[in-house]
Amino acid sequence: MLKVCKFGGTSMANADAIRQVKKIIESDDSRRYIVVSAPGKRNKSDVKVTDALYACHEELLKTGSCKKSFAVIRERFTEIVKELGLTLDIEKVLDQTEKDIDTEKSVDFTASRGEYLSAVVTADYLGYKFMDALEMIRFDSHGKLNEDYTDDKVSIKLAPVERAVIPGFYGKDFQGKVKTFSRGGSDITGSIIARGVKADIYENWTDVSGFLVCDPRIVENAKPIKQITYKELRELSYMGAQVLHSEAIFPVMKGRIPINIRNTFSPEDAGTMIVPNEMYDTSAENVITGIAGKKNFTVLLIEKSLMNSEVGFIRRVLSVLEHYDLCVEHLPSGIDTLSVVISSEQLKGGVLSDLVNEIRESVSPDYIHVIENISLIATVGHGMARRAGTAAKLFTALKDAGINVRMIDQGSSELNIIIGVANEDYEKCIRAIYGAFVK
At closest approach, how far in Å is the CB of 181 from ligand ASP?
7
Q: Among 39, 167, 171, 184, which residue sits at the site for Mg ion (rule: CB under 5 A)?
A: 184
Q: Among 11, 97, 122, 186, which residue sits at the site for ligand ASP (rule: CB under 6 A)?
A: 186
Q: Among 3, 4, 8, 406, which residue sits at the site for ligand ADP (rule: CB under 6 A)?
A: 8
76 binds ligand ASP per the rule CB under 6 A: no
Nearer to ligand ASP, 119 or 433 (CB): 119
**Residue nearest ligand ASP, CB atom distance:** 186
70 binds ligand ADP per the rule CB under 6 A: no
Within 281-320, the residues that bind ligand ASP by CB under 6 A are none
Provide the mask over 1-40, with x wherever binding to Mg ion is found by CB under 5 A and - wherever it is not: -------x--------------------------------
406 binds ligand ASP per the rule CB under 6 A: no
CA distances (Å), origin 363, targets 217, 301, 322, 325, 372: 43, 13, 15, 19, 22
Strand order of the β-sheet with 129-130 is: 129-130, 164-167, 31-36, 3-7, 201-206, 259-263, 272-275, 227-229
184 binds ligand ADP per the rule CB under 6 A: yes
Per CB under 5 A, the segment of 100-108, 169-177, 181-189, 311-319 that binds Mg ion is 181-189
Q: Among 114, 167, 290, 420, which residue sits at the site for ligand ASP (rule: CB under 6 A)?
A: 114
Q: Among 10, 14, 50, 69, which residue sits at the site for ligand ASP (rule: CB under 6 A)?
A: 50
Within 240-259, the residues that bind ligand ADP by CB under 6 A are 241-243
48 binds ligand ASP per the rule CB under 6 A: yes
Provide the mask over 206-235, with x wherever binding to ligand ADP is found by CB under 6 A and - wherever it is not: xxx--xx-xxx-------------------
Within 110-139, the residues that bind ligand ADP by CB under 6 A are none
Query: Can you give the binding site for ligand ASP, defined by CB under 6 A?
Result: 9, 37-38, 48, 50, 114, 168-169, 183-187
